[in-house]
Amino acid sequence: MLLLLWLTQDLLTVLTWGFVEVPEIFMLGLVYQLLTEDREVHPGAIWIAFAGGLLWDLRWVGIPGFFTLGYVIVVMLVLWLWHTLPSSGRTLSVVFLLFSASQLIPPLLPVLILGGEPGGLHFLFQQLWALPLVLLCVLSYARHRRKKNPNA
């Protein structure tokens, strides 16, 4: 599933080259998977994020490490925060923040490292395009949680 999301993100990037900055669809899928699974330990999540970021860097950025670092940071942040919070603190607000972090952190790192002038406007538009996807993921998570625990 995550490979399909990565390929979708890549295809959309090719089709909209120069017109629209495509949101981090791969990261939304990975974060959604981390939040909806019952396991406390996700042994492959960091490696999946590493591989997805490395492929993205080699395909688009050309410098391995920018998105790789961002993807791994997001996974570590999600795993740490989600499993630190008690179940009563896992509200939709926190879910929204975690999905938003998956859209903010990876594309922000190249902008900060290379300078904000050329990439700042692209970053802003990418965040505007990502907001509807983030909201859809939060809605999907809420339905998943309601289906799993109908009394809550």
Per-residue pLDDT reduced to its tens digit, 29-44: 999 999 998 777 788 9
Q: What is the pLDDT of residues 82-92, one digit of tens each?
A: 999 998 999 99
Contact in structure between 123 and 77 (CB atoms under 8 Å): no
The DSSP letter of residue 91 is: -
**74-128 pLDDT, tens per residue?**
999 999 999 999 989 999 999 999 999 999 998 888 777 776 555 667 778 889 9
How high is the pLDDT of residue 15? 92
Rounded to a whole number, what is the distance in angstroms from the first to the last CA of the chain?
29
User: What amino acid occupies position 39?
Assistant: R
Can you give the pLDDT at residue 146? Answer: 93
Mind spelling out the 3-state secondary structure of 20-61?
CCCCCHHHHHHHHHHHHCCCCCCCCHHHHHHHHHHHHHHHHH
Check residue 116 and give its pLDDT: 58
